[in-house]
Chain A
Amino acid sequence: MSHFIELGPQQLVIATVLIVAAGVVSMVLRLGVERRLGIAALRTVIQLGLLGLILEQIFALENPLLVVCLLLLMTVFAAREAVTRASRGYRGILVDAWLTMAATCFVVGGVVTQVVVGVEPWYDPQYVIPLLGMILGNSLTGISLCLDRFMDHLEVRSAEVELRIAFGATRHEALAAPLRDAVRTGMIPIINSMAAAGIVSLPGMMTGQILAGSPPLQAVAYQIVVMFMIAAAVALGAMLVVVLAGRHFMGVDATLRLDRMTAKKN
């Protein structure tokens, strides 16, 4: 890290002008989103502020147990968010989503922080928390898309699934098409962002590193690692969550149990 311009409360207040401008546009055009915009802006400030305070503490304490606890808490929130985004559900979906998040993040995150980057000490929060946070944030999108598509396939194309079953398909054979469909859907966002990286968009993490004064090529190297890490996490997570979900809708007897599917409560 070489140099960066520090932001103080004064700068943040000036930045508020921008969000107020967005609110004014909403009012002038009668978009009716000013209230939601205000609440969202407030949530941004409070949530990020809290996170900043927590991170400052955790960085200062350098306690591995604390780092692991925070990571576990992050997986719980990510799982909750992934489940909320899906338009259908089933009993135990939260546990499945959490198991998936925890397993993929710790496997992929472990490889990246311990083998690729080689963080010293192993729990160094400055690396471990942002990297795992990025895996969680992105695999959350992938996993919720994947779960949603899986249940959608089972319900909308149930006749097709049952047709295979009617000719003796095993659970594995009956769920192969929905699984493929779901994992493919879950992977689309990361494939798109990998394809557009550097041409259409400057990835957020890279932008951040450059702003913080890293040499651009170093920022690029980190960004490549992060992109590959997210792709691996989404692919593994999507597969795992669908296998877990599949067990709820089909036992070894390969009977399709759509009665176990629930519509979203709202």
Chain B
Amino acid sequence: MRRVYTPPMSAFLECGPFSASDGEGRVLFDGVSVSLEAGQCVGIEGPSGSGKSTLLRHVAALAWSPDATRQLDGHSFRGAELPAWRSRVSLVAQDAPMVIGTVRENLSFPFTQRAGRERKFDDVRAAAMMTQVGLEKLPFDREVRTLSGGERHRLALVRALLWNPMVVVADEPMSGLDPGIAEVCFDLLLQFGRRPGRLLVCVLHDPRMNTRTDRHLRLAHGQLKATA
């Protein structure tokens, strides 16, 4: 894998410019770039339909953005290096998608892929984290199709944190959770983002949660701006 090293003059995560339009051809945003420092939690807000989820998909390199450049911690990623980017900048998608199979398969599959070949799935740590989010009673051999929406959201969160990428990009990760358990999950995410060399970027459905993030960005009228 060829990665170009550039001196760390730039921010920890730098990517863009991104442009996107919705299904009817209406421009959501045009030429938006993201530049963020490590060790913080960034909340993105904006009116519904403004393209927040689409922007997160661009940051996570899941949406087609041929003109964008991507840098993380001084390294550039492009073309065939995008899988390596995604293994470092992982998206927790809005509806908590799962692969067909058991809870264990869903937690461990990233470690079976090429990107995780040198790492080992830690059963003990997984069990501990499942307990933290209130899923201690969920057996690892349970088929995920039998899980409730709330259970799936928590499982998706545990998966991302176990994978421990450099950046977690989360799209309404706590939607559908009871307030108590949502609070616990959010604490875990905030702890993750504030560690050195880590970053959390998330869209939150609850405005009260937004007040707890370190930095606020607002996406509206096609522009991404920092807010107080």
Contacts and interface: CB of A to CB of B under 8 A. Distances in A.
Contacts of B87: 167-168
B80 A255 contact: no
Contacts of B100: 160
Contact of A162 (B62, B88, B113): B62
B93 A163 contact: yes
Contacts of A168: 83-84, 86-88, 90, 110, 113-116
A166 B90 contact: yes
A255 B63 contact: yes
A170 B110 CA distance: 11
Name which of A162, A177, A257 has the most chain B CB atoms within 10 A of its CB. A162
B28 interface: no
Number of chain A interface residues as a range: 20 to 34
A254 interface: yes
A171 B100 CA distance: 19
Interface residues of B, number: 29
B206 interface: no
B91 interface: yes
Contact of B90 (A167, A171, A252): A167
B106 to A, nearest CB: 9
A163 B83 contact: no
A168 B62 CA distance: 10
Interface of B: 60-64, 78-80, 82-84, 86-88, 90-91, 93, 95, 97-100, 109-110, 113-116, 163
Q: Which 9 A-B pairs have the closest CB atoms?
A: A168-B87, A168-B115, A159-B97, A167-B110, A253-B82, A252-B80, A166-B91, A163-B97, A168-B86
Nearest to B156: A163
14 contacts: A159-B95, A160-B97, A163-B98, A165-B62, A165-B83, A166-B93, A167-B113, A168-B113, A169-B115, A177-B99, A252-B80, A253-B83, A254-B83, A255-B82
Nearest to B62: A162
Given A160-B98, A168-B83, A168-B86, A255 B114 contact: no
A169 B62 CA distance: 11
Contacts of B63: 255
Nearest to A254: B83
Contacts of B163: 167
A173 interface: yes
Contacts of B91: 166
A177 B100 CA distance: 10
B4 to A, nearest CB: 16
